[in-house]
A and B are shown apart, each in its own frame.
Chain A
Amino acid sequence: MVLIVFMVLNATTARPDFTEVQAQVQAHLTRGERMLRDGDYENALWNFQQANARLSTPIGALGAAECYEQLGNRAYAVYYYRAYLRRAPNARDALEIAERIGDLMFIEAKDGRALLEVESVVAAKGSVDGHPYNAFPIAAFLPPGDHELLVEFPSGPQKRVVSVKPEGLTTLQLAPPPGVSPTAASIARVSKSLQDEEPPVWIVIAHPGSYTRLSADNLREIFSGDRMVSLNGQIAQVVIPRVGSRTRAAFISTFLQKTEASFQSSWMKLVFRGGGARAPLEFQTDSEVVAVVASQPGAIGIVAADTPTAGVTRIGVR
């Protein structure tokens, strides 16, 4: 009984703190959104970062990402767009955000740079190749290869070499140094972060001459197999990576919001209905998907964002 009374009292006394935090976060988010609309990106970013420091919300991550993009910092823009997808994996604009990530990474990839992201459990400063960062996370586009990472923990500096992969991105989670005890909350946060699947980044490609932009609803209609869809007079031919592909799995589950089996059964119903609907073509590699989309009128496909897309049109999603 005493324990129950203690728990109830504890709960009632803890609640105002959380409510207060929520109120602060909401105030920062509201101000940040207003400033973002007004084009005051620096101050909007400060507000979103204040909100992010208190509570992990999708709006906070998306706001920070948009501010960083407007301010020309592609690395942090990608970092926070990815954070947004992690925090809201079923968001309706998930594909659009994934497209933006792909676009930003593609711009840097053309100049031979790949993304490095470093997160730390405890507050610290750091530098990469001598370039200082006042706080974690660190996000930077760097040439592939080895880079020197210096982290200044309260217990002393740590130096290590990080190898940046030539394609995609390199992520690093720094473990707490000896003598530094992160709080239980930060351990839980990092543990969850480590367990989270990185959302695969995909892009939509189509045979040249068809649409260049589609709404998310139209794209769902084309890929879901609920009815036959034409693209400028051509019967849409869906081309996708095979079962087992991470890109395919993420696209079907997060964008179409179907299971693999329901995706297949929808297409089976449509194809056996007759009427010219074409069953999806599946290929082992993304380059094969690109090649088929390039060669077949009406073809539209899904590939990983870092796939070279010569000969096809990249479709923007409204």
Chain B
Amino acid sequence: MPRLVCFGILFQFAALPALGQHSMEPRSETHMTIHFFADVVGQKTGGSIEAPSTFNLGSLTLFVHAQPTPQFFALAEVAFEPTLQDYALDVERLEAGWSPRSWFQAVIGRYHTPLGYWNTAFHHGKWLVTTIENPLLFKFEDEGGPLPVHTIGLLVFGQADFSPSVRLLYHLGIGNGRGATPDPPQKLMDIHEGKSFIGALHVGISGFRIGGSVYLDKTTPQATPGVDMKEQILVGDATFTTPPWEILAEGAWIRHEYSSPLPSGETTVHDYGAYAQVSYQAWERVRPYVRGEVQRVDTDDLFMENVPDQVRFLAGIRFDPIDALAVKLEGGNVRIKGENGGYGRFQVAFVY
């Protein structure tokens, strides 16, 4: 019943502006835009991770952006995620924003933690993303990702332009931080008084951007009852996104410090992750891409026990037959928990 109510509210929310909205994005009287993103994947894996060929229904994501006045905006990103039996409703982002100046803006709500580039550049609609999947490092928490990519709290950020092509970007935020397990983010209450802190600083020169982010938090993992864990995360990123190039490189270092020794006798463990991706728009609607990525999780890190060690190389091509539709073909090799195998898959991602 609560789900039906949610559907009803969303439907009403969506129906109002649709009456006066014809173009995809630019707005006039309504000051509101709504889009649905969806995707379907077909894949086959081989080697020691062989599995039956399968079709896979991606999440159906609703994006709503409203700007009632020039300085205030609201943004909602709601995903209907397929489960084995049903669909689960997940509010991925819900932001109320105030942007009086480019160098001082603030949002409150649930936002994508400004760790690196990917997490704030792309969101849940797969049409937005060049590749079929996020890098391992930026998988969402409910997909087994290692980073706290969602935060519920307050974020202050801005962009100072020193010249038309040189800019400084900063982010400062606090939030509920990690719960007892990496997923889900703490929506309703924090199990600790202390809050998570995120800070990021980047310099942009035309299409080139470089910088880093730091994330500090404390929690009590479910896997180590009564033992607190301090978390420090550093993410560095360098990107070049001037068409036709899209070159992304990011790396993260995660340090977990437990208040009592782990079974191995250690109190501090380290996890790492990194990826490099290059894509080039070879023709107007065709973009080949390659990516290499690695994720190393310390086996003693009980908080991350569901986040596997992985190495993956992939190459693919994205073709947009029309602007609202992307067809992606991809092949690669993945090594996960010592198992090794190749895969091939396609994705049809669209927006409407």
Contact of B128 among A225, A240, A269 (CB under 8 A): A269
Q: Which residue of A lies closest to B242 (CB)?
A: A226
| Contact assessment for B23 and A282 in the assembled complex, using a CB-CB cutoff below 8 Å | yes
Other-chain contact of A272, B28, B75, B167 (Cβ < 8 Å) = B75
CB of A23 within 8 Å of the partner chain: no
A272 touches B63 (CB 8 A): yes
**A71: interface (CB < 8 Å):** no
> Does B25 count as interface, using CB distance less than 8 angstroms?
yes
Nearest B residue to A248 via CB reads B26
Q: Chain B 66-102, CB within 8 Å of chain A: the 1/0 string? A: 0100100101010000000000000001010101011
Chain B positions within 8 Å of A273 at CB level: 120-123
Q: Which chain A residues lie closer than 8 Å to B70 at the CB level?
A: 237, 278, 296, 298
Given A275-B120, A276-B102, A281 and B28 contact (CB-CB distance below 8 Å): yes
Interface size class of A (residues with CB under 8 A): 35 or more
Question: A279 to chain B: which residues have CB within 8 Å?
Answer: 25-27, 33, 65, 67
Check A264/B102 contact, CB under 8 A, given A278-B67, A278-B70. no
Q: Give B167 Cβ to nearest chain A Cβ, in Å.
A: 8
Residues in A whose Cβ lies below 8 Å from that of B164: 214-215, 218, 221
With A234-B102, A273-B123, A274-B97 in contact, do A267 and B67 touch (Cβ < 8 Å)? no
Quick one: which of A214, A262, A274 has the most chain B CB within 10 A?
Answer: A274
Specify which chain A residues have a CB less than 8 angstroms from the CB of B26 in the assembled complex.
238, 240, 264, 267, 279-282
Contact B159 A281 (CB under 8 A): no
Q: State the CA gap A264–B33 with chains docked (Å).
A: 12
Cβ distance A217 to chain B, nearest Cβ, rounded Å = 8
Asked if A272 contacts B35 (CB within 8 A), the reply is yes
In chain B, positions 158-190 with a C-beta closer than 8 Å to chain A are: 159-161, 164-165, 167
Note all chain A residues with C-beta closer than 8 A to B111.
Answer: 274
Task: Give the distance in Å from the alpha carbon of A296 to the alpha carbon of B67 in the complex.
Answer: 14
Interface hits, A258-308 → B, CB 8 Å: 259, 261-262, 264-265, 267-269, 271-276, 278-283, 296, 298
Chain A 223-247 against B: per-residue CB contact (8 Å), 1 yes, 0 no?
0011011100111011010110000
B102 & A228 in contact (Cβ 8 Å cutoff): yes
Cα distance A278–B67 in the bound complex, in angstroms: 8
B132 at the A interface (CB under 8 A): no
B293-352: which residues lie under 8 A (CB-CB) from chain A?
Answer: 322-324, 351
- A-side contacts of B35, CB under 8 Å: 268, 272
Of A233, A262, A276, the residue contacting B323 (CB under 8 A) is A262
B23, B73, B95, B159: the one within 8 Å of A264 (CB): B23
5 closest Cβ pairs, A-B complex? A230-B102, A276-B99, A261-B323, A280-B26, A264-B24
12 of the cross-chain contacts (CB-CB < 8 Å) are: A221-B164, A225-B25, A226-B243, A235-B101, A243-B23, A259-B323, A262-B323, A264-B25, A268-B351, A272-B63, A274-B107, A282-B26
Q: A271-B33, A283-B28 are in contact. List 15 more A-B contacts (CB 8 A).
A: A217-B206, A228-B159, A230-B101, A233-B161, A261-B323, A264-B25, A264-B323, A268-B35, A269-B128, A271-B65, A272-B128, A273-B120, A274-B111, A275-B105, A278-B67
